[in-house]
Structure 1
Amino acid sequence: MGQVPAATRTLRVLRFLASQPEPTSIDRIMRACGLPRSTAYHLLTAMAEEGFVVHLPDEHRWGLGVAAFEVGSGYTRQEPLQRIARRLLADLADTTGQSAHLAVLHGRDVLYVVEERAPGRPPLVTDVGVRLPAHLTASGRAILAELPAAQVRALYPGADAFVQRHGTGPRTLSQLRTLLSDTRQRGYAVEEGEVTPGLSSVASAVLDHNGHPVAGVALTYAEGETASLAAAVRRTATTLSRRLGGPDRR
């Protein structure tokens, strides 16, 4: 094979890391991408300085960094995802009588990209373009629960990462891990008054063809049966995942 430009090598490393379920060793990266050790190390170091990868020294492994998530979130904010999701969210709002929204992960925040308001429901803070702390929202928790533990740790390295709105919600990585574990066992994420007092939300993650969470579908409500709303949200998220080539999790 001829000389491969540095940009091509970098993109190959990013693509390989994105295909892995968890951070991996430099030896695997070298073999998968056909790189000498010194080249792989220099590429990874430069990518880490820009935030695209993160080094986990205790585990001797490398994984995707926040900047890589921002690039992925930028893709999901493009019109294709919104076009596919808008009709599904409108149907979700119509059938449940509750306001529905779609959010994507952007660093440690979620960014709302689609909003379908149900008539007669209270006003919400989740307008399109609004960013909220992911660990406080149902949409964010649904997405975070589908990420590898090491990626969550990279996003929340210390107590300063846990922004508060009303004095509730997780304040440490340990508390967040417990919350995300409960979310996975339950099959959907919830938040109760942590974004807006008096309002609750339930959400489910949308997965792409790699099983990676690209968005969260949520309903926000003042009262009602969480379980029945959760079932409706999960159906919508599953349909949207299938249309993106993701797995069917019914």
Structure 2
Amino acid sequence: MGRLVPAVTRALDILELFLDGDGTLSAPEITRKLGLPRTTVHELVTTLAARSYLVQVPDQPGRYRLGVRPYQLGSRYAEQLDLAAEGRQVARSVAETCDETVHVAILEGADVIYIAKVDSTHAVRMVSAAGRRLPAHCTSVGKMLLASLSEEALAARIPEGAPLIAMTDNSITSPEELRRHLAVIRERGIAVEQRESNPDVSCVAAPVRDSTGQVVAALSISVPMIRWSEERQEELAELAAKGAGELSARLGHRRRGA
């Protein structure tokens, strides 16, 4: 690895300060937060402003906010993102950690579509494929995605009073029961499915967010019942959340306080 350039590092440190608070800072505030010499901060801020990375706040002399250049760079980065490709990379990493089948799925209507899948190396594993469509209410990824919807959007996909199809004896078939289940998922931030789409498999799923904070996908870990337990569920729920968080970060999401 090459040597880090101190001046570039300091300039990037200044830019990253604007990710918190109200998005505006003065040179003295930057000096205090980073512990840099006042003259150094002045030179760096002047340079960043000259290149449109920072701009002075109108009617607030001495205060700065992000300029247009970071937005242009972020937009170009977002243009080249591919959710399926990024999902496969993260799913591969998660699968290598737990050696179970990992999926990434999106919501379409009342169904989920799997856009990425990485298999376990075990002889006993889940049989599925990228591109497969399943009823959302029968899967952990689907329930995670349904739980992220507003009441209006959920009602458009799952009308109250309309029976839901069952894939197994454990599938939820009542919209009212489903809504109670989704309320728990919203509170926990994790969805669990126990033999609801496959009588021999249980799953856990976590939400994937884009740069705006919107849930755009879900990542799940699927486990045959012979390897499932309450302890294993908790372990995999934590790993699914970590993997979903990594994929979210790749899509530009930044957690509050991060």
TM-score (normalised: structure 2): 0.62
How far apart are the structure 1 equivalents of 2:160 and 2:238?
A: 34
Partners of 1:102 and 1:149 in 2: CA distance: 24
Query: How many equivalent residue pairs?
Result: 173
8 Å CA contact retained: 1:102, 1:216:
yes
Q: How far did 1:121 drift?
A: 4.5
CA shift for structure 1 position 97: 1.2
Q: Larger Cα Rg: Structure 1 or Structure 2?
A: 2
Shift in Å, 1:159 = 4.3
| 1:71-117 Cα distance to aligned partner (Å, 9 max, x none) | xxxxxxx9811121111111100101111011111111100111100
Q: Which residue of 2 aligns with 1:173?
A: 175
Please list the CA deviations of residues 137-196 of structure 1 after superposition, one character each: whole Å capped at 9, or x if unmatched: 000011111111221111111444612111333223221111111112222001011111
1:139 corresponds to which of 138, 141, 147: 141
Measure the CA separation in 2 of the matches of 1:162 and 1:213. Answer: 23
- 2:250 aligns with 243
Alpha-carbon distance in 1 for matches of 2:93, 2:202: 20
**Which residue number in structure 1 is paired with residue 192 of structure 2?**
190
SS of residue in 2 equivalent to 1:220:
strand
Residues 1-250 of structure 1 correspond to what in structure 2 (within 5 A)?
A: 80-160=82-162, 162-222=164-224, 223-224=227-228, 225-248=232-255
Structure 1 length-normalised TM = 0.64
Rounded Cα–Cα distance in structure 2 between residues aligned with 1:122 and 1:159: 38
SS in 2 for 1:206: strand
Which residue of structure 2 aligns with residue 73 of structure 1? none
What is the RMSD of the two structures over their aligned residues, measured on CA atoms?
Answer: 2.0
Ranges in structure 2 where 5+ consecutive residues have no aligned partner: 1-79
**Which residue identity does 2:82 align to in structure 1?**
P
The superposition leaves residues 190-238 of structure 1 with CA deviations (integer Å, 9 ceiling, x where unpaired) of 1011111121000011111222221110000122410110001001101
Percent of paired sites with the same residue = 31
Structure 1, unpaired ranges of 5+? 1-77
C-alpha contact (below 8 Å) 1:159/1:171 kept by paired residues: no
Whether the 8 Å CA contact 2:145–2:218 is kept in 1: the answer is yes
In the alignment, the residues of structure 2 paired with residue 180 and residue 247 of structure 1 have an alpha-carbon distance, to the nearest angstrom, of 24
- The aligned residue for residue 70 of structure 2 is none
